[in-house]
């Protein structure tokens, strides 16, 4: 705990762990996303997409984002995009709200399926537990959220690491055989590109913790490290799940399917607990970001956003998201995220690398 509270951790590692915490629930917690955007292009094609495309894009974009936020003291997305896009900042808010509701829908669907299929609990039990947990964290605010998200990310790394080692031990010949085919299906690059883009819509959920960064050097290193931290557990899962390729491609929650094949009850339970926690992490990050946006409006009027309203906002957003979850997990990930990728490109990435870099240079 002392390390998590150190200046080094808060400057260089915390932004990456917060990014990973928010990404994972909608990015690869269930494993479905890794299948949809990487493995379906073949074992080698998918791995190239993850490392050469997604990781590089994330690190570069996080570097510029962190430096832009530092220079303009823009630690909520309303302030950030007002400076970046001017009077058109609201376009990103529309995009962010759509992304947040899709991600909350994925969280709701995954939580319900997880408890129903593996613990025999009613589908709504997952919804209620998620509601209460996220409501509590958003009520407590940034300090507790930083500690919880960072601590749980470390637990996540441990669980993914153990699963990776056990899978290699049991299925290494299968993994080796599938990679040895050197299968790279067409447009593998596009899978990594779209995956990187839609996940960048979570950037606003990271802004609140960037006030610890004080120099350009810290922004660059934090962004570089953040991209690696964000993707690394996904790479471990990707390599492990290739032992089931191509049979795993239609699975709704591929990680659970793989753990069933391993046959370890302990790992299955540990992963389910870890996954449920990451769903809470992701939902908390998104909703806390929206609350911080409301806070910025109150502050411009010389007031403070009432603390008691934070969990109320969380409940409303979660219920809206859970309503969308009736569309099904696979369709939400394949269609909802895919369409969102292009919006993030035109509303965030291109302006950041043109207007954003220009403003950074000009201000410097």
- Do residues 213 and 226 touch, judged by C-beta distance below 8 A? no
Cα–Cα distance for residue pair 45/43, rounded to 1 Å: 6
Asked if residue 2 is part of any domain, the answer here is no
Q: Between these two residues, 93 and 337, which has the higher pLDDT value? A: 93
Whether 332 shows a pLDDT value over 70: the answer reads no
Asked if residue 32 is part of any domain, the answer here is yes
**CATH classification at residue 297:** 1.10.4160.10
- Cα–Cα distance list, 263 to 164, 267, 269, 360 (Å): 14, 9, 11, 53
**CA-derived radius of gyration, the chain:** 20
Tally of domains within the chain: 1
**Nearest alpha carbon to residue 205 among 284, 258, 280:** 284
Longest dimension (CA), the chain: 64
In this prediction, residue 174 carries a pLDDT of 92
Question: What is this structure's pTM?
Answer: 0.85
In this prediction, residue 84 carries a pLDDT of 94
Sequence length of the chain is 364
Cα–Cα distance for residue pair 284/310, rounded to 1 Å: 11
- Do residues 195 and 35 touch, judged by C-beta distance below 8 A? no
Cα–Cα distance for residue pair 270/257, rounded to 1 Å: 14
In this prediction, residue 349 carries a pLDDT of 92
Residue 264's Cα: distance from chain center in Å? 27
- Cα–Cα distance list, 169 to 81, 174, 343 (Å): 48, 11, 42
Asked if residue 165 is part of any domain, the answer here is yes
At 4, list the tokens: 């998590």
Asked if residue 179 is part of any domain, the answer here is yes
- Do residues 18 and 206 touch, judged by C-beta distance below 8 A? yes
Asked if residue 1 is part of any domain, the answer here is no
pLDDT band at residue 235, thresholds of 50, 70 and 90? very high
Asked if residue 303 is part of any domain, the answer here is yes
Place of tokens 């009613």: 122
pLDDT band at residue 328, thresholds of 50, 70 and 90? low
Give 175's contacts (C-beta < 8 A, 6+ positions apart): 167, 168, 239, 240, 242, 243
Asked if residue 31 is part of any domain, the answer here is yes
Mean pLDDT of 313-322: 77
Domain residues for 30? 7-363
pLDDT band at residue 126, thresholds of 50, 70 and 90? confident
Asked if residue 53 is part of any domain, the answer here is yes
- Cα–Cα distance list, 205 to 44, 252, 290 (Å): 32, 26, 8
What proportion of the chain, given as a percentage, has pLDDT over 90?
Answer: 29
């Amino acid at each position: 705990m002392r390390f998590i509270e150190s200046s080094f951790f808060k400057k260089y590692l915390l932004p990456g762990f917060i990014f990973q915490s928010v990404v994972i629930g909608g990015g690869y917690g269930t494993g479905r996303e890794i299948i949809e955007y990487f493995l379906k292009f073949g074992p080698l094609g998918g791995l190239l997409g993850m490392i050469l495309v997604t990781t590089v894009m994330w690190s570069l974009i996080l570097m510029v984002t962190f430096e832009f936020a530092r220079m303009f003291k823009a630690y909520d997305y309303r302030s950030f995009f007002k400076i970046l896009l001017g009077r058109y900042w609201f376009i990103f808010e529309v995009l962010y709200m759509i992304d947040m509701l899709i991600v909350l829908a994925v969280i709701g669907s995954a939580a319900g399926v997880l408890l129903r299929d593996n613990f025999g609990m009613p589908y709504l039990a997952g919804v209620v537990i998620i509601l209460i947990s996220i409501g509590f964290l958003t009520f407590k605010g940034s300090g507790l959220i930083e500690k919880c998200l960072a601590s749980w990310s470390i637990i996540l790394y441990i669980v993914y690491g153990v699963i990776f080692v056990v899978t290699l031990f049991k299925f290494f010949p299968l993994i080796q055989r599938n990679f040895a085919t050197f299968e790279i299906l067409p447009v593998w690059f596009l899978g990594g590109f779209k995956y990187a883009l839609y996940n960048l819509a979570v950037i606003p959920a990271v802004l609140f913790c960037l006030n610890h960064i004080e120099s350009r050097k810290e922004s660059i290193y934090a962004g570089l490290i953040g991209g690696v931290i964000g993707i690394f557990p996904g790479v471990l899962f990707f390599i492990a799940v290739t032992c089931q390729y191509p049979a795993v491609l239609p699975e709704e929650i591929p990680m659970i399917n793989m753990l069933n094949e391993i046959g370890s009850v302990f790992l299955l339970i540990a992963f389910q607990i870890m996954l449920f926690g990451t769903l809470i992490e992701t939902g908390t990050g998104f909703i806390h970001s929206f609350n911080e946006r409301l806070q910025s409006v109150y502050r411009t009027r010389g007031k403070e956003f009432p603390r008691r309203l934070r969990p109320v906002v969380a409940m409303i957003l979660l219920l809206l998201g859970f309503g969308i979850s009736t569309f099904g997990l696979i369709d939400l990930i394949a269609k909802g995220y895919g369409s969102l990728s292009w919006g993030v490109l035109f509303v965030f990435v291109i302006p950041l690398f043109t207007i954003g870099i220009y403003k950074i240079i000009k201000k410097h």
